[in-house]
C-alpha cells in the first residue's frame, strides 16, 4: 500500500520564534499519523536541526530540506549538500518546486542530477511537477507534466523510482487561493500514474505516492485527499498556521 503523506512547505517564511512556536504546536498536537500516513515539514535550512529535535517524539513526523545541490561537497558557496543533510539526519528533500524552476532557473536535467545524488545518499526526493496557467488554458498539461517526469526521472530503474514521492502543483493554484477542482486534481494524478505505469509497470505506479499542492486548506483538504489517486498534499501558506495544518494532517 502506498503511503499517505501530508507535507508542509514553509518556503522562506518564519522567524526563529515563529518556528519554535509552530514546531511546539505540531509536536504537542494529537495527529492521526501512523506507519501508513506521515507528515513531513520542509522548513528553512537554519531550522532543520531544531525541527528534527522538536519533532523527535513522534516517529511519523519527518523533516525535509526545501532544496539541495547536485554535488556531494565542495566550493559551492551558499548551497546545501545531501552530505550535510544526511549528517544531520534529514530524510526528505523537496526538489523542483515551481518557484525554484521559475526564479532560479532549475531545468529538468539539473533536477535529474539532484534526484540522483539524493537517492545515492538514501534521501527521499519529494519531486514537484506542474504546469503554468497558459499550458492549462491550452489543455496540454498532461503532456507538459509527463515531459517534466520523463526528463528528470525516467533514467532511474524501477527500484529507484519507487522510492520517490511526487507532488503535483499546478502553478496557477499556488498561493492564489484558487485550488484545482477535485476532478482536475484526480485527472492529473491518474495521468501521472499512467505515465509511470507505461514507463515502468502498474505495480511501480501503484506504489508511488502522488501529493497535490496548491491552495490546500483545512476547508478543502478532506475532499481533495478523498480522490483515489491523491495520496496527500504539499501545503504552503496553510502550513504556517498551526491549527490549520493540524486539521489538514487529520483530514
List residues binding ligand 13P (CB under 6 A).
9, 97, 169, 174-175, 213-216, 234-238
Residue position matching grid coordinates 519533532: 55
Least separation in angstroms between CB 58 and ligand 13P: 22
Alpha helices in the chain (DSSP H): 16-28, 48-54, 82-87, 98-104, 108-120, 133-137, 141-153, 158-161, 182-199, 202-207, 218-225, 242-249
Query: Distance (Å, rounded) from C-alpha 242 to C-alpha 91?
Result: 23
Alpha-carbon Rg for the chain, nearest whole angstrom, is 17
CB of 125 or CB of 213, closer to ligand 13P: 213
Least separation in angstroms between CB 218 and ligand 13P: 12
Q: Which three cell numbers stand for residue 211?
A: 501529493
Least separation in angstroms between CB 108 and ligand 13P: 18
CB of 18 or CB of 73, closer to ligand 13P: 18
CB of 33 or CB of 214, closer to ligand 13P: 214
Least separation in angstroms between CB 9 and ligand 13P: 4
Nearest alpha-carbon partner for 223 in 195, 181, 171, 175: 181
CB of 232 or CB of 236, closer to ligand 13P: 236
DSSP per position, 165-217: EEEE--GGGSSSS-PPPHHHHHHHHHHHHHHHHHHS-HHHHHHSEEEEESS--
Q: Active-site positions?
A: 97, 169
Amino acid at each position: 500500500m502506498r503511503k499517505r503523506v501530508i507535507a508542509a512547505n514553509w518556503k522562506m517564511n518564519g522567524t526563529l520564534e515563529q518556528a519554535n512556536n509552530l514546531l511546539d504546536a505540531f509536536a504537542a498536537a494529537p495527529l492521526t499519523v501512523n506507519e501508513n500516513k506521515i507528515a513531513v515539514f520542509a522548513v528553512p535550512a537554519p531550522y532543520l536541526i531544531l525541527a528534527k529535535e522538536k519533532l523527535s517524539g513522534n516517529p511519523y513526523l519527518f523533516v525535509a530540506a526545501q532544496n539541495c545541490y547536485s554535488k556531494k561537497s565542495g566550493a559551492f558557496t551558499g548551497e546545501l549538500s545531501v552530505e550535510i543533510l544526511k549528517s544531520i539526519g534529514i530524510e526528505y528533500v523537496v526538489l523542483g518546486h515551481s518557484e525554484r524552476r521559475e526564479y532560479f532557473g532549475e531545468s529538468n536535467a539539473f533536477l535529474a542530477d539532484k534526484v540522483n545524488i539524493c537517492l545515492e545518499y538514501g534521501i527521499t526526493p519529494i519531486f514537484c511537477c506542474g504546469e503554468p496557467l497558459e499550458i492549462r488554458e491550452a489543455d496540454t498539461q498532461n503532456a507538459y507534466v509527463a515531459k517534466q517526469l520523463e526528463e528528470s526521472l525516467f533514467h532511474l530503474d524501477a527500484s529507484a523510482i519507487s522510492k520517490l514521492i511526487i507532488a503535483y502543483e499546478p502553478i496557477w493554484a499556488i498561493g492564489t487561493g484558487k485550488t484545482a477542482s477535485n476532478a482536475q486534481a484526480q485527472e492529473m494524478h491518474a495521468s501521472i500514474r499512467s505515465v509511470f505505469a507505461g514507463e515502468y509497470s502498474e505495480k511501480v505506479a501503484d506504489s508511488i505516492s502522488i501529493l497535490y499542492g496548491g491552495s490546500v486548506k483545512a476547508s478543502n483538504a478532506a475532499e481533495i485527499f478523498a480522490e483515489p489517486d491523491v495520496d496527500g498534499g504539499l501545503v504552503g501558506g496553510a502550513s504556517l498556521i498551526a491549527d490549520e495544518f493540524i486539521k489538514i494532517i487529520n483530514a
